[in-house]
Structure 1
Amino acid sequence: MALVLVSISCKGQEKNFEVKTSFDSTAVKSYPVVGANQTGEYLPYLRNKKVGVVANQTSVVFKPENFIFMEDYWDESSRSYKQRQTQKWIFSKHTHLVDSLLSHTIQVTKVFAPEHGFRGTADAGELVKDGKDSRTGLPLISLYGSNKKPTQDQMQGLDVMVFDIQDVGARFYTYISTLHYVMEACAEAGIPLLILDRPNPNIHYIDGPLLEPEHQSFVGMHPVPVVHGMTIAEYAQMINGEGWLENGQKCELNIVSVKEYDRATFYSLPIKPSPNLPNDQAINLYPSLCFFEGTPLSEGRGTNKQFQVFGSPTLPKDKYTFTFTPQPNEGAKNPKFNGQLCHGKDLSNVDKLDHINLQWLLDAYRDSGKQTSFFTNFFTTLAGTKTLQQQIEQGMNAEQIRLSWKKGLEEYDAMRKRYMIY
């Protein structure tokens, strides 16, 4: 890694900068080292094996550069400008995990792709077809649509499966459902699963109602809250430990955990995990705003502020002064309210959440004027329970609803601690 020293003046005067070719580890705090970057931990294990990889556009080996900025700031006590160091990690350079494995002569034979596809450009819910990777020529097998679980024919000939996908810590984000089915297929085939772990950007809290078994679906397979507070590897250990695989099977797990990481570490995703989560703000708001997908409101698909705005053409203009017009874009070929002016709220600058914000949903329900048709069946699927809709319709406020989650969250928290790595 190269450390770059740059001097910048608050007064608008740019100064000379110095480039150092060696990394000064004492100058900055450490940054999480994802599992995929720890090649020395897993390449020997994969050598001379036929390898399957579950991956998407986030499955990369980073080549990070650390920039130390010298900036001027106003010191009130001395009434003068002084200088201080600030840091920024740049992750513009990376190699896809599959390309990295092949470059190390690892025998990758098949690539399995989750929702949004191997390159991560498909719409949510869009059918992703099997095919061939144009760069490597490897067969691509879709794990979305009718084939969510690798078949035993597809597992044939593999000695080990590698799972490396960036998650965002929400129950209805389908990568943990793909994880479940991959673990189940590995257990049935008798081959181990190697997980290259990555940080969870929403690991700092758990919240929401627990999923009830009768509402199990691909956007909610396990009795966990909406925000589960686990990394992919921790979650896999929980799936195994709680016997959630079919017939109580166990998958043989090998884990390369994240170095220099704990639950207090803020992690900014260098690569967007799916087309409609373009930045840290959207990822943080996603657990709160995804509920709008089960209502007549837009959550910003078809704009450049996906999961950072909400609204509809019918919300009252006097209360909802922010406007947006959804248009087809990457990840939303036919967005809700396509081409229609929507009135709503812009949340792109609200403070980082450490809980699910229900107030936006409660306000929109009250102000929509169409309470009898506000919720679709998908709302219950997302919530994992009918109770949340009933509580809103009964007029309960956010504090009362959140209080009803308390016991379930406490029980879940006690359970998840048995599987925590960080």
Structure 2
Amino acid sequence: MRFTFAKNTVLLFVLILISCGNTNKAKHQIASGNKTNTANLKKHTTENILPIVGANQTQLYLPLLKTKRVGIVANQTSVIFKNNTSSLKSNNYTHVVDSLLALNINVKKVFAPEHGFRGNADAGEIVKDGIDTKTNLPIISLYGNNKKPKPEQLANLDVVLFDIQDVGARFYTYISTLHYVMEACAEAKIPVIIFDRPNPNGHYIDGPILETEHKSFVGMHPIPVVHGLTIAEYAKMINGEKWLANGIACEIKIIPVKHYTHKTPYNLPIKPSPNLPNHMAINLYPSLCFFEGTNVSAGRGTNHQFQIFGSPFLDKTIFNFQFTPQPNEGAKYPKHQNKICYGNNLTNTKKLDNLNLQWLIKAYKNTANNANFFNNFFTKLAGTKKLQHQIESGLNDTDIRASWQEDLRAFKTIRAKYLIYN
């Protein structure tokens, strides 16, 4: 017993050092500098300090969890980084669940979003309940038929933690899971603690606003395609705009990101889902995901998911790049499997700071299967029927984008009320 207590005390001390270490190092460097270089050193250290994610702010949340029965909504991105270096080395981070258990926090169960707790399920694949083989904790799926935690699944909990890396797009379903978790916890009078993380697409806001008649799990709220909020800011908006059932509000406690603004570049160290393998795919995802509602592949079944697009129906004299989708991680049955697709390679595209509609319009205008280009899923992704009608009627991207601007200005006014970061 004494050994266990000592070991956990050391681990707690190490975690607190991790959450504070880089900042203290910078302060020490500034304090030890001479008068002539102090200002420059301050500027240098500020520019080079990495964001410290909410999960690393252990000193803020561990006291809140003592004696509590804890549930956690988590996946493979729910980690604490050692030395805050955010690298992909397997020994550079520990999973939040593992860390909490090692500190004798009474974690009772894990709730898993789309793609599962370990993040290896296909997009749209039903994630089943089960037992985590590493921790023996029960895993409750929040994707499939059970998107909202049931009262009996929350009955033995005092608090729920939410720690999932989002990518800032309306149709990325983690914010829909957030909605249902907040709703269920509000009804059960259970507080939710949110470990915030940077939004890699937080530097811009763009796209049509979702119309409520087209609400679905890939779009639940009247927001643009790219909303410019972190997961915690989004939770504040859900409460503030009374989007939960019957206008109820969830009690939330936010563990914020340090050294972060919405203009801070942030490349995710762990891929948030199987088909977003790198920062290029994450940046292109809001623009290329529209192809999921068409007969064009966005690269699933290749090694360049959401970095290329194409189909067997596109004019190969115009689209000179080709690829053949094959089953792989995250795409057991990819669109146009084993068929040659003609399209564009976007792997060298400069970082986007707005939605690109030109690729979608170009594909529509140069397909041999025009009548079957769009499918019913497109309206859910767009959140409106207008976008499909605009493309079919021949509007260019400038005119389409102009039609969004009044609604975007109104959204930005609402968004400003919920910002935590500049």
Higher helix share: 2
Inter-partner Cα distance in structure 2 for 1:238 and 1:389: 28
Inter-partner Cα distance in structure 2 for 1:41 and 1:24: 21
Equivalent pair of 2:52/2:84 in contact (CA under 8 Å)? no
Residue 59 of structure 1 is matched in structure 2 by: 78
Q: CA deviation at 1:314?
A: 1.9
Equivalent pair of 2:69/2:157 in contact (CA under 8 Å)? yes
CA 1:263–1:65 in 2, change beyond 3 Å: closer, same or farther? closer
Q: Does 1:37 align with 2:56?
A: yes
**Aligned residue identity for 2:338:** G
Residue 299 of structure 1 is matched in structure 2 by: 298
Question: CA deviation digits over 1:112-142, x for unaligned, max 9?
Answer: 0000000000000001100000000000000
Q: CA deviation at 1:371?
A: 2.1
Inter-partner Cα distance in structure 1 for 2:227 and 2:84: 31
Residue 286 of structure 1 is matched in structure 2 by: 285
Q: CA deviation at 1:91?
A: 4.7
Q: Does 1:368 align with 2:372?
A: no
Q: Which of structure 1's runs of 4+ aligned residues deviate more than 3 A?
A: 22-28
Inter-partner Cα distance in structure 2 for 1:217 and 1:236: 18
Equivalent pair of 2:300/2:325 in contact (CA under 8 Å)? yes
**Aligned residue identity for 1:205:** Y
Residue 170 of structure 1 is matched in structure 2 by: 169
Residue 46 of structure 1 is matched in structure 2 by: 65
Inter-partner Cα distance in structure 2 for 1:60 and 1:264: 23
Residue 90 of structure 1 is matched in structure 2 by: 87
SS in 2 for 1:162: strand
Q: CA deviation at 1:336?
A: 0.5
Equivalent pair of 1:64/1:91 in contact (CA under 8 Å)? no
Q: CA deviation at 1:24?
A: 5.8
Inter-partner Cα distance in structure 2 for 1:368 and 1:206: 30
Aligned residues: 380
Residue 155 of structure 1 is matched in structure 2 by: 154
Inter-partner Cα distance in structure 1 for 2:197 and 2:318: 41
SS in 1 for 2:404: helix
1:17-416 matches, within 5 Å, as: 26=29, 28=45, 29-64=48-83, 90-92=87-89, 93-416=92-415
Residue 40 of structure 2 is matched in structure 1 by: none
Residue 86 of structure 1 is matched in structure 2 by: none
Q: CA deviation at 1:316?
A: 1.4
**Aligned residue identity for 1:266:** P
| Identical-pair percentage | 64
Inter-partner Cα distance in structure 2 for 1:364 and 1:242: 37
Q: CA deviation at 1:65?
A: 6.4
Q: CA deviation at 1:23?
A: 5.2
SS in 2 for 1:90: coil
SS in 2 for 1:362: helix
**Aligned residue identity for 1:129:** K
Equivalent pair of 1:143/1:178 in contact (CA under 8 Å)? yes
Residue 13 of structure 1 is matched in structure 2 by: none
Inter-partner Cα distance in structure 1 for 2:263 and 2:26: 24
Q: CA deviation at 1:264?
A: 1.3
Inter-partner Cα distance in structure 2 for 1:274 and 1:418: 30
Q: CA deviation at 1:369?
A: 2.8
Q: CA deviation at 1:315?
A: 1.1
CA 1:281–1:161 in 2, change beyond 3 Å: closer, same or farther? same
Q: Note the residue ranges of structure 2 that are not aligned, 5 or more in a row.
A: 1-13, 15-23, 30-43
Equivalent pair of 1:323/1:341 in contact (CA under 8 Å)? yes
Equivalent pair of 1:115/1:144 in contact (CA under 8 Å)? yes
Q: CA deviation at 1:267?
A: 0.5
Equivalent pair of 1:54/1:161 in contact (CA under 8 Å)? yes
SS in 1 for 2:310: strand
Residue 8 of structure 2 is matched in structure 1 by: none
TM-score (normalised: structure 1): 0.88
Equivalent pair of 2:313/2:369 in contact (CA under 8 Å)? no
Q: Note the residue ranges of structure 1 that are not aligned, 5 or more in a row.
A: 2-21, 67-88
SS in 2 for 1:170: coil
Q: CA deviation at 1:398?
A: 0.2
Q: CA deviation at 1:90?
A: 3.3
Q: CA deviation at 1:169?
A: 0.2
Equivalent pair of 1:63/1:91 in contact (CA under 8 Å)? no
Higher strand share: 1
CA 1:334–1:91 in 2, change beyond 3 Å: closer, same or farther? closer
Inter-partner Cα distance in structure 1 for 2:151 and 2:248: 15
Q: Say what the alpha-carbon RMSD is for the aligned residues.
A: 1.3
**Aligned residue identity for 1:339:** N
Inter-partner Cα distance in structure 2 for 1:41 and 1:172: 31
Question: CA deviation digits over 1:261-301, x for unaligned, max 9?
Answer: 01110001000000000000000000000000000000000
Inter-partner Cα distance in structure 2 for 1:315 and 1:274: 28
**Aligned residue identity for 2:87:** I
Inter-partner Cα distance in structure 2 for 1:368 and 1:305: 22
Q: CA deviation at 1:341?
A: 1.1
Residue 73 of structure 1 is matched in structure 2 by: none
Residue 19 of structure 1 is matched in structure 2 by: none
Inter-partner Cα distance in structure 2 for 1:129 and 1:65: 33
Inter-partner Cα distance in structure 2 for 1:90 and 1:247: 43
Inter-partner Cα distance in structure 1 for 2:136 and 2:306: 35
SS in 2 for 1:408: helix
Inter-partner Cα distance in structure 1 for 2:259 and 2:113: 28
Inter-partner Cα distance in structure 2 for 1:178 and 1:90: 27
Residue 5 of structure 2 is matched in structure 1 by: none
Inter-partner Cα distance in structure 1 for 2:374 and 2:349: 26
**Aligned residue identity for 1:52:** G
Equivalent pair of 1:62/1:91 in contact (CA under 8 Å)? no
TM-score (normalised: structure 2): 0.88
Q: CA deviation at 1:149?
A: 0.2
Residue 80 of structure 1 is matched in structure 2 by: none
